Structures are given as structure tokens and as C-alpha cells.
Amino acid sequence: MDAAGLLNDIWYGKSPMRFALWPVSAVYRALAWARRTAYQRGWRRAVEVSVPIIVVGNVSVGGTGKTPFVIWLAEQLRQRGRKVGIVTRGYRGKGKEWPRAVAADSDPEEVGDEPVLLARRTRCPVVAGPDRVACVEALLEKSRVDVVLSDDGLQHYRLARTFEIAVVDGARGMGNGLCLPAGPLREPPSRLQEVDAIVVNGAGWGHAGVFRADAVVTRVYHLKDGAERTLESFEKKPVHAVAGIGNPQRFFDLLSDAGLNVEEHPLEDHAEITLDDLTFDEPGAVLITEKDAVKCEHLKANGVWCVVVDFKFDADRTARLMRLVLRGIGERA
């Protein structure tokens, strides 16, 4: 069993190794509580900015669908006349200077894959960097916006926030309920009681008051020439699914549920992708995620298709969630 499989068994299965890691987990949880308390009681001061900040994050590590939700929320706010800016971590970006403005044609190797994806899909000003406060200040210096979305900033307490949204993977939920390293949580599950809204990606985990969404395929295009197909056109045919995201299994299951005969090829989250990663001896089209596509378009590989997945809420949940968000940032819906 590889390292990823071992962690998955500990965090989401019944591996007894979680008991051996529990003492370290207890220390991690105590440190997370102390840091949170320091900001709540004013012992450490959060930085206020001139526009509302909506933080979208999670309490667990790994993919929950946070970035697709940020894309959805940015579009919903824009449809309602708001000018939106986005700040994000730029994880694994190799740039030496931060914060950095990100455009649709920015090099993902320099700024990270998620910032480029956000810039392309939202057409909003995006700034990436490890210091969210510096990112917001750089964004406001260059762009006139009404509201800023902070992607994956739930634990970045130095940036004062107006509204918090936690995104939870419905299939995996809180895992074994333990903090790192014995479990998948950055903060204890009780942290969810303090956020302003909880969005659940898919069926499974949840309770009254959450906003449940579905991940749906909205486009499939060829990486080399942009030609489009429907996902149904791949039904009952062998395909190679390659995913370097936080939870590759969610992508694989999405394809399998659509009737595809999937050969799974999971990669590390944010992995650098080479032509070898997209080339196989066995026949079949290669399907990749949109986040991975921004990193390997330059390869111009034949037979590689990008599967675009978007969040979808029903009309009632959309209306209720957006009323809650707009009221939370002091605006009328």
C-alpha cells in the first residue's frame, strides 16, 4: 500500500494506526484551538480591509470541491451586479515574488494551477500568494471591486472576514473526526458550528441547514484542438482517467457513474504532469480534470480530453444561499 492509500485507510477507514497517532493529533488540535482563540479574544489582531471578504474553505485536507464552488459563487455575485476579486494561495507555484497578479495565460508553474483556473473561468482579477492580507491589499491597489473571495482561507485568521463558507465532501465528510495526522481535519468538527454557511458536495454527510450541491459535467473538449464531445460518447469504452487533485476518486467515480469503463491513474494533488503521465500502452482516450489541463495544454497530446465539472444547486437552494451571502456582507439581495 502506498502512502496515499495508507493515509486514506487511517483517515477514512478503520486502521488501528489512528490510535498510535492520536497523541500527536491532540497536540495539533490544541495548537489550532489556541491560535483560533488568540484571534477571537483579540490577543492577535486580524487585519480589516475596505471591502467585504467572503472566505471559502474547508476543515479537512484534500479535495472537497472548494475551487468549483468559488467559480460558481463568483458568477452568482457577478450576475447580481457585484464586481468580484479573488485571492488564493498559489500552492506549489515556483515564483519567487509574491503576491502576484494572475491572468488566464499566466504560467501555472510560476503561480500554481488553481489561480490560473480561477482567472480563466471567472474572468475576475485574481491575486495569488501565501499571505492573504498582502494579496488583498495588492488586489485592491490595482482593481476596483465590491467584494473579495478568499479561496481556501478558512484558517488564515490574520485576514478579517465578513462571511465564512465551509465546503464539505459529502462522500468523505469528516472522516474519522480526528485532526492531523491521525485524521484529515485541520480543525475539529465543531469549527463548522461557527461558519455562516456549509456547502456539501454531493450526497452523504450533512444535516439540516446545509446547502447541498451536485458536481455535473458541463463540457468535454480535446486538449490539442479544442474539439468537443459529450461525456456520453465515451460510454462503455475503455478510457484512462488521470487526476492530480485532492480526491482523485471523486473524478473516477463521476466517470464510472456515467457508464465509462475507467482505468484509474491517480496522481499527487497539484502534481506536475508530463507526456509520460498521459501515454499508455493500452488503447483508450485519456480523460483529465480541468485543474490538470491548465498544466499540460502545452504538451499538445493526442487523445487527451478535459472534463469540465461545475457545481449545480437547484433554484431554491441558489436563491436561499445568495440571500444569506448578500445579507451577510451587508447588501440587499
DSSP state of 60: B
Q: What is the largest CA-CA distance in the chain?
A: 60
Angle (CA) 113 51 33, round 5°: 70
Which pLDDT belongs to residue 298? 84
Q: Which residues pair with 179 in a beta bridge?
A: 185
> At 20, is the pLDDT very low, low, confident or very high (cuts 50, 70, 90)?
very high
> At 332, is the pLDDT very low, low, confident or very high (cuts 50, 70, 90)?
low
DSSP state of 65: S
Mean pLDDT of 22-34: 96
Query: Rounded to whole angstroms, how far apart are CA atoms 143 and 40?
Result: 30
DSSP state of 134: H
Q: Extract the C-alpha cell encoding 248.
A: 482523485
> At 140, is the pLDDT very low, low, confident or very high (cuts 50, 70, 90)?
very high
Mean pLDDT of 174-202: 96
Cβ atoms of 127 and 102 closer than 8 Å: yes
pLDDT in tens, 210-229: 999 999 999 999 999 999 99
> At 1, is the pLDDT very low, low, confident or very high (cuts 50, 70, 90)?
low
pLDDT in tens, 90-116: 988 999 999 999 999 999 999 999 999
Which pLDDT belongs to residue 92? 87
Task: Report whether pLDDT(333) > 60.
Answer: no
pLDDT in tens, 122-133: 999 999 999 999
Q: Give the orientation angle of helix 3-12 with respect to helix 17-40, to 10 degrees.
A: 70
pLDDT in tens, 41-58: 999 999 999 999 999 999
pLDDT in tens, 264-320: 999 988 888 999 999 999 999 999 999 999 999 888 888 999 999 999 999 999 999
Query: Rounded to whole angstroms, how far apart are CA atoms 289 and 278?
Result: 12
Mean pLDDT of 202-212: 94
Within 8 A by CB and 6+ apart from 133, the residues are 47, 49, 158, 159
Of the candidates 212, 208, 209, the residue with the CA atom closest to the CA atom of residue 169: 212
Q: What is the DSSP string of 277-320?
A: GG--SS-SEEEEEHHHHHHHGGG--TTEEEEEEEEE--HHHHHH
Residue 104: what residue type?
A
Q: pTM of the predicted model, to two decimals?
A: 0.95
Of the candidates 153, 167, 155, 163, the residue with the CA atom closest to the CA atom of residue 198: 167
What are the phi and psi torsion angles at 287 (to 5°)?
Answer: -110, 130
> Strand 197-201 relative to strand 163-169: parallel, antiparallel, unpaired?
parallel
